[in-house]
């Protein structure tokens, strides 16, 4: 069974950093791009970042470019989202998702999400 399990969320103050992780299982991890999507409280879905299967290419939404870094460890089937200079508007549930192809695309498997709250 394909599974994704996010962790690392929590409460931080504006300007601080946080690193999210996502552990994957049940598929050939390195063959697929992976994506982070977030959802602010009571709001819709927002694409954050996608990384290629090899980890050699990463793409970012303008809202997080320069502050967030998406990486992966294919030997451990794990994703990392390093979030720096956090702002109140980064408060959201962060979902990791498997992309159907090894590129930007649609997401066929989603984790349950981890909550990030940025507040003083």
In this chain, which stretch among 23-31, 71-79, 81-89, 99-107 interacts with another protein, using CB under 8 A? 99-107
d(CA 37, CA 95): 5
Query: To the nearest whole angstrom, how small is the minimum distance from the Cβ of residue 112 to another protein?
Result: 6
- Shortest CA distance to 85 belongs to which of 20, 24, 12? 12
d(CA 22, CA 13): 22
In this chain, which stretch among 11-19, 44-52, 71-79, 82-90 interacts with another protein, using CB under 8 A? 44-52
d(CA 43, CA 110): 18
d(CA 67, CA 74): 23
Residues 19-38 that bind another protein (CB under 8 A): 35, 37
Q: Which of 9, 47, 55, 115 binds another protein (CB under 8 A)?
A: 47
Tally of CA atoms within 13 A in the half-sphere of 91 that contains its CB: 13
Residues 53-92 that bind another protein (CB under 8 A): 59, 62
95 binds another protein (CB under 8 A): yes
Residues in the site for another protein, rule: CB under 8 A?
Answer: 35, 37, 44-47, 50, 59, 62, 95, 100, 104-113
């Amino acid at each position: 069974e394909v599974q994704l399990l996010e962790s690392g969320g929590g409460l931080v103050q504006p300007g601080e950093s946080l690193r999210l992780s996502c552990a994957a299982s049940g598929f050939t991890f390195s063959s697929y791009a992976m994506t982070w999507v977030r959802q602010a409280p009571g709001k819709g879905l927002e694409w954050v970042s996608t990384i290629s299967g090899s980890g050699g290419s990463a793409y970012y939404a303008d809202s997080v470019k320069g502050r967030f870094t998406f990486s992966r460890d294919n030997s451990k089937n794990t994703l990392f989202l390093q979030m720096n200079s956090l702002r109140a508007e980064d408060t959201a549930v962060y979902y990791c998702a498997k992309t159907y192809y090894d590129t930007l695309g649609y997401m066929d498997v989603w984790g349950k999400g981890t909550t990030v709250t940025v507040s003083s």
